[in-house]
Structures are given as structure tokens and as C-alpha cells.
Chains A and B, each alone.
Chain A
Amino acid sequence: MRTEIRFSGFGGQGIILSGILAGKAAALFDNKHATMTQSFGPEARGSACSAQLVVSDEPVLYPYLSQPEILVSMSQDACEKFLPELAKAGTLLVDEDLVKLSSVKRTIKKFAIPATRFAEELGNRILGNLVMLGFFSAVTEIVSPESFKKAIPGSVPERFLELNLKAFEKGYDYGAETKIKTPNKQKTKIKTDTVLTEPI
């Protein structure tokens, strides 16, 4: 089973770190195969940026995404850029204060969280990506929260570790609640085998 995930936003939001943390958690602590690639451009800041993650039970052969099942978006630009490639029955996670959703296909499951606002409440907007990762973990169940908590130490500055974990938990709790409140009856766990898009 192979799942393709795109984390996106603008440069400086910690998008690449999101990809690394999710991949690290999956590969080192969930015993899955996880290959992360990132888009490199001459721009260092500001423009749409993304990290691509493939999580699979088998070794990942094709390293890139062909049709992601999950799109995590923390900016309007990135969302508009990457939404068209999202699988028909895919899942979209957005920062609701930064992304205004309009004309998203009904088949796509949508989840929103004020990640950056929560991060600001915790003291630093830079933690928005961690809030989003918690939300991602709760909503998609692709990577377990326990593994995330093991992956975060060593990948964030030691002195901010506690704050990062707090941010993650904030997002996770919000995600768990959101899932319960989700009106449609479909199982929120992503059944990736039904939307298999491994490149052929």
C-alpha cells in the first residue's frame, strides 16, 4: 500500500521540515518505507514550496508523486497550485485562516484548522507546521502520533522541543475532535488502496 502526500505552503513556514518529520516518524518508528523529496528552486523564501512524501509498506521504487491522495496546504498560492493534481477521492488539509476554499470537488474530503492562529496563541507562529502535523496525524492516521513524538526530538532546536510537542498535541487534539464532528459518514481513515495512484 502506497500513499502519496504533499505538504505545501510558502517558504519559511517549515514545510520541508513537515515532510522530514512525517517521513522520519513513518520510516524510523512506524516501520514503514518513507521517501521524501522536495522541490528546489532559486527562491529561498516567499514562493509556493512543497515537500513530497511517499509512505508505503514496501520499498518505494518511484520516488516522486504521480497523484497525491493527501494535500496539506498552508497558503492560498500553494493550495491553488497543487489542488488540481489531488486524487478525486483525496483528502485536503488546510490552515483555515490562510486558505479560502472555493470550488473544491465534493469527492474530496476537506479538513480545516487555524494552525497558525493556534501557534500564535502558543507563542510563536513558526510552530504552525507542528500544529498542522498533529492535525494531519489525527485526521489521516497515516503516521501515528507516538511516532511523531519520537521523531520531533533531534529535528527541532532542543530549547523549543517542549513547545513543538505542545503545538503538535494541540493540532492532534483538534484533529481528533474534528474527525468526530465530521458530518459525512465515510471512514476518515484514508483507504489508499481504493485510490491507488502508484505511477504506471
Chain B
Amino acid sequence: MKADPRGVKTGAHYLDGDHACAEGALAAGCRFFAGYPITPSTEVAERIASRFPLVGGVFIQMEDELASIAAVLGGSWGGKKSMTVTSGPGFSLMMENIGLGVMTETPCVVVNVQRGGPSTGLPTLPGQQDMMQARWGSHGDYEIIAIVPNSPQECFDLTIQAFNLSEKYRVPVLVMMDECVGHMTEKVVIPPAEEIEVFNRKLYDGPKDQYLPYEVDNTNGRVPLMAHAGDGYRFHVTGLTHDEKGYPVMNAEVQQECVSRLIDKINKNTDDIIQYEEEQITNADVVVVTYGISSRVSMRAIRLAREQGLNVGLFRLITAWPFPEKRIKQIAKKVKAFVMVELNLGQMVYELERCIAGKAKVKLAPHAGGWVHNPTDILKIIKEAAK
């Protein structure tokens, strides 16, 4: 499918990441937005509020983040591509219903413009401290998709991808921006609508009495076909463990089937979902693994290291979750060490260590948040790792 031209502001723009994210949502076909203001994500909501009336979208400012995510799930079942935007404290409040989104297989996009935490922390300054919360924040076992842009251009591009993935796999997709990328203004090129690929959820259109809302469709990547409220199928959706009919069933067998499929539909499609960027990995002694704004600062450090004769490669996570385990394991066989650069005191590094499983050294370049790393600090750690 091509994008609906009404939402696409084709041309070269000078936009900050927040505004670019809003344009990405519009281009992807988002037509329902519910949100609550929180720094540093508010500009996304503001731009949506100003752009929606003339593109047939509905914007509503809810009373809190609990309501925002609930309305977004409702909006999605009402047939609209739906999104909300928040930052740390609001992200915490949304966790329960992100779980409902996972359990009920509701396509939607949640953007978190990360700031320094814990608690109120640093509302106006960057952090990447919600990365593990993105993966594990809601209770229970599940898999989720989280992607991390590192520029305003990617805020546009990856928000479209977030919608496409969420429509395809019927799962909430998290766009894990950070304050620096969100508030940074750069050139953003928005292509013509006919050059933007959008994916729309696959809808059931068979006989009414045969519709099973949670029937496993193996031809569709284990993703069941959806119906919208009002389509005439009169189906049931619940956050309780449920069978193919969508009816609650309280036993271990159905739990096993229900939860395994939620996990499998992501884990068995990682080749389609996962994106990363590599640079000079082949002959590298040290590979820097990083994401978001930290990846740009790391590139600076990597260039300095190369100037000093070190063989350093870059592995940038574009998809943080599911983690590119397979590729990391391949690289781990060939390199001496990995350096994880992230704006926290150690989060994704644990996943990296798990995948490397002792095959290579792993060092962390930590930062408590509030600014970005000084490239020289990263350089120092790269040098230590190269020893």
C-alpha cells in the first residue's frame, strides 16, 4: 500500500525529532491520537493536534497517560491507526495497558522520548534509561518490538516503520527516542506519498459464523486476522488468557498456547523485524554497540580510534527489541571485544553479554544521563577493550 497523500508533507524540511515523528505518524496513516503532555515529548502531540483536523484524524488530550494508552487501544479496535507519545513517568503509567495491547494483539504505536530518570529526574535532558522497561515493563511473559532513531530523519522514517510493524504483527511497537534526538533540529526529507510504503492490518472477511478472532494463521506469520468493532462479527476481546474464540479459559494448557504464540509471532519473524547498521565489522578487533543519540557520539569516538590505528567497527541497533542475537553471536566469534555505549549505567549491555556468552570481552561506556558522552571517554574505553 502507498501512503494516503493527505497526511504526507512532501519536501525538505528543517524539523526537530518530535515534529518529524509526528509527520511520520501522519504519513503512516495514523488517524487517532490520544495523549497527555509531558516533556520532552509534548511537541509530537502539539504538531498532531495542529495537523489532524484537515487530514481526517481525531486528536484528544486525555486526563492522564493511563487514559491515553487505553484510548489508543480503543481507537485501534475502532479501525484507526492509533498512537500515543510520552516520556519516562508517563511510560511507567502506560505499562499495564501496553500489556493489554500485547495480550489482545492490538496494533498501536507508543513513542517514548526518553529523559533522565528515575522518577521525575531530568525532564529536559536526555537519557536512554527506559530500554529495559521497554522490554520488560509490563507484567507477564511477552515479546515486543522497540526501535530507536538517531536523527530527526529517522524519527520520521522509523515512526512509519513502527506503524507498519505494529499493523503486520499486531503488537504495540515502541519508538524509543531520547530528548536529544527529539529536540534536535535537522534536515528531514519527506518523500512523495507514492514512495512511502505503508502496511495495513489484515482483516478477516470470511463468513460471520466462522470467525475465530484468535485463530492462528500460519500463512500470516502466526498473526490472527483482525476485525473492527462494527464490522458485524460480534467478537470478544479480553486481557484474560483466551482461546481461539477470544473467550477466557483459565488453565495451564490454554495459557501455554496463548502466551507461546504471542512470543513466537515475534521471535520467529526476527529476520523480517530486526534492523541494524554495521560499519567496518569485518576486520574489527573491537566492535562498538550503540543506539540512538549515543551512536552518533560513538561514531566520533570510533573515528578518533581509527586515526590512532585501531580496528574498530560499529554495530548500531535500530531495532533494540527483539535484540539482534543471531548477528551478535556471529560477530562475537571474530572479535576481541565489544564496547556498549548507552546513556544509562548499564541496560542493553546485559542483553549483549547474554548473547556473547563469554566468547568476547564486553565493556560498558556508562553515562548517568543529562547529556551525551564525551567522545574521549568512549575512546578511552575502546582503547582498554582493544588491549
Q: Do chains A and B touch in the complex (CB under 8 A)?
A: yes
What residues make up the interface of A, taking CB atoms closer than 8 Å to B?
A: 19-20, 23-24, 27-28, 33-38, 40-41, 60-64, 151, 198-200
A62 and B185 contacting across the interface, CB-CB below 8 Å: no
Q: Which of A19, A27, A61 contacts B186 (CB 8 A)?
A: A27
**Segment touching A, from B86-94, B328-336, B371-379:** B371-379
B residues less than 8 Å from A24 (CB atoms): 14
Q: Which residue of B12, B185, B187, B374 has the most chain A CB atoms within 10 A of its CB atom?
A: B185
- B185, A20: Cβ atoms under 8 Å? yes
Give 7 CB contacts A-B under 8 Å: A20-B185, A28-B12, A40-B183, A62-B296, A63-B184, A63-B296, A199-B376
Would B299 and A37 count as touching, CB distance under 8 A? no
**A residues in contact with B304, CB < 8 Å:** 200
For B278-310 the 0/1 string (1 means CB < 8 A from A) is 000000000000000100110110011000000
Q: Which residues of A contact B186 (CB under 8 A)?
A: 23, 27, 33-36, 60
Residue of A nearest to B188 (CB): A27
Interface set of B (CB-CB < 8 Å, partner A): 12-14, 16, 39-40, 124, 180, 183-187, 293, 296-297, 299-300, 303-304, 371-372, 374-376, 379
A27 CA / B329 CA spacing, docked (Å): 39
**How many residue-residue contacts, CB under 8 A, span A and B?**
66
Across-interface contacts of B303 in A (CB, < 8 A): 61
Residue pair A61, B184 in contact (C-beta under 8 Å)? no
- Closest A-chain residue to B186, C-beta based? A35
A27-B186, A37-B184 given; A63·B14 CB < 8 A: no
Establish whether residues A40 and B180, one from each chain, have CB atoms under 8 Å apart when the complex forms: no
Q: Is B300 touching A62 in the complex (CB atoms < 8 A)?
A: yes
Q: Which residues of B contact A19 (CB under 8 A)?
A: 185
Known: A63-B180, A63-B293. A36 touches B12 (CB 8 A): no
Query: CA separation between A36 and B14, bound complex, in Å?
Result: 9
CA distance A20 to B188 in the complex (A): 13
- Which residues of B lie under 8 Å from residue A151 when comparing CB positions? 14
Which residues of A have CB within 8 Å of B184? 35-37, 63
Q: What B residues does A28 contact at CB under 8 A?
A: 12-14, 187
Residue of A nearest to B304 (CB): A200
Chain A residues whose C-beta falls within 8 Å of the C-beta of B379 in the assembled complex: 200
